[in-house]
Amino acid sequence: MYFVPTLKKTSDGSDTLYVPELNEHYHSTNGAVRESKYVYIESAFNPCEKKEIHVLEMGLGTGLNVLLTYLEARKRNLKVIYTGLEKYPLPETIINQLNYSDWEKEVFKRIHSAPWGKRSSIDSFFTINKIKTDFNDYAYPGKYDVVYYDAFAPDKQENVWNREIFNRIYAGMNVNGILSTYCAKGEIRRRMQSAGFSVNRLPGPPGKREMLQAIKTNRCE
């Protein structure tokens, strides 16, 4: 079921969205951009040493992680093939209110105007395929080098944190692929380990004690 979120300002000045019915924010109120850079760019994208990186985002949401990945890829001269899964795409009226476009208005616009279900070029080095689907219905064809697991928290959206999803993601990743998430729950860590991942507890972004980084090693191949 889709709920209409409301705009909220976070402590680093960047916007997030709040869903009153779930009492849940799309990003940390301690800083939306700060959290996304730390959890996804610094803990998953940057550790990947490839020059062409296949990224899978679980929960496309506002498109902030796409934009940050684009900016990092441009800075580091990398090629990115980006796949974003989102069951409930945000309406244009809400997207247009987000202040992320203040820094890269045209890029942010191209990200959100790209058609759903079709691979589209955002720039010469960056393509995106936005797929409207439930995580449980996606085939995970891979092979992915980086996975951003950015769904709502397990206590708000339990059905997308099940063991089968992690099994399928693991199978769809390249060896040494990295999955990162803000979530640090012990049960989620155990589900990742059961799927075959080597899981690290990392210090969390501001406002969170820990986060998880999961790596597909070759020990189970």
Does residue 1 belong to any structural domain of this protein?
A: no
Does residue 17 belong to any structural domain of this protein?
A: no
User: Over the Cα atoms of the chain, what is R_g?
Assistant: 16
Give me the DSSP letters along 55-68. EEEE--TTSHHHHH
Report pLDDT digits (tens) over 81-106: 999 999 999 999 999 999 987 778 99
For the chain, the domain total comes to 1
Does residue 184 belong to any structural domain of this protein?
A: yes
Report pLDDT digits (tens) over 155-195: 999 999 999 999 999 999 999 999 999 999 999 999 999 99
Does residue 172 belong to any structural domain of this protein?
A: yes
Residue 70 lies in domain: 30-220
Q: Please work out, in degrees rounded to the nearest 5, the angle formed at the alpha carbon of residue 190 by the alpha carbons of 26 and 85.
A: 35
- Confidence label for 220 from pLDDT (cuts 50, 70 and 90): very low
* CATH number reported for the structural domain that contains residue 131 in this entry: 3.40.50.150
pLDDT at res. 221 = 43
Does residue 13 belong to any structural domain of this protein?
A: no
Is 50 exceeded by the pLDDT of residue 216?
A: yes
Does residue 168 belong to any structural domain of this protein?
A: yes
| 27 residue type, one letter | H
- Confidence label for 219 from pLDDT (cuts 50, 70 and 90): low
Does residue 157 belong to any structural domain of this protein?
A: yes
Does residue 124 belong to any structural domain of this protein?
A: yes
Per residue in 198-221, is it b (16+ CB within 10 Å) or e — as a string?
ebeeeebbeebeebbbbbbeeeee
For residue 143, cis peptide bond before it (omega within 30 degrees of 0): yes
Report pLDDT digits (tens) over 37-87: 999 999 999 999 999 999 999 999 999 999 999 999 999 999 999 999 999
Determine the Cα–Cα distance for residues 150 and 127; give it in Å rounded to an integer: 20
Q: Please work out, in degrees rounded to the nearest 5, the angle formed at the alpha carbon of residue 165 by the alpha carbons of 147 and 125.
A: 25
Report pLDDT digits (tens) over 117-156: 999 999 999 999 999 999 999 999 979 999 999 999 999 9
